Amino acid sequence: MSEPGGRLSLKRKIYLDLKQKLIQCVYPPGSELNELLLTAEYSVSRTPIREAVSQLELEGYLKVLPKKGIYIPDVSIDKVLQIFQTRLEVEPVTLRMAVPYLNVEELIEFRRRFQEPEPDLLKAQQLDTEMHLYLIDRCGNYYLTEMMHRLFDDNTRVVIATGQTKTKIHNAVVEHTEILDSLITHQDPEYSAQLLRKHIGTCRSEALKYFSSDQYRNYMKETKAKRGNDL
């Protein structure tokens, strides 16, 4: 009985580690994974690797091509649009649900952290995500929180893969502060939800503007060239 349980535990550990590396683009979109190299990296047999890869394929992080290998799908503009479409529709709903359960001291601490300059764009993006998930987690609905955590994993992957942690495309400090202030002062939850929706809409517009810029095209050209040299 201990062997299946141990194997499941090992599979889970490999799955979580591999998933995090895919989200953080340690293994970047558009590249391939080698099963033998993964077995060497994790010091395991092929079985737990294949189990973890199968789970990640079901979740859309990987694509197993018969007789070719394990492929990491590229980020598409369509996926970006779907992420923002979901956020625009769902996040304001979760915020209205969360309002009765928010802690004022924690909201004030988020406001303080946003007002401190953060030159590291990756850390700034992580704080952004942390605040949004803090609000979502308090909506009291397991299915919504699970869905939105998955969406923000995809959002993080998109942000890193497309070079948005290399250049500031939108300074949202004022928008975050307005949302937090409205919650701290117990204003109408509908008003806070409107501020949130406006913020997400602005982020969407700035992201699409970035994707059509020379800066983004040059970054992706350099990334693909580097990927080719690494093969």
Does the pLDDT at position 157 exceed 60? Answer: yes
pLDDT at 186: 87
Same domain, 17 and 57: yes
Highest mean pLDDT among 59-68, 96-105, 112-121, 209-218: 96-105
From CA 208, how far away is CA 85, in angstroms rounded? 13
CATH number of the domain where residue 50 is located: 1.10.10.10
From CA 50, how far away is CA 229, in angstroms rounded? 27
From CA 138, how far away is CA 97, in angstroms rounded? 8
Select from 125, 103, 101, 120 the least CA-distant residue to 176. 125
In a domain, residue 32? The reply is yes
pTM for this entry: 0.87
Does the pLDDT at position 204 exceed 60? Answer: yes
Domain count, the chain: 2
Phi/psi at 45 (5° precision)? -80, 180
In the chain, % of residues over pLDDT 70: 94
Picking from 40, 71, 102, the residue at the C-terminal end of a domain is 71
Domain holding 12, by residue range, is: 2-71
From CA 159, how far away is CA 161, in angstroms rounded? 6
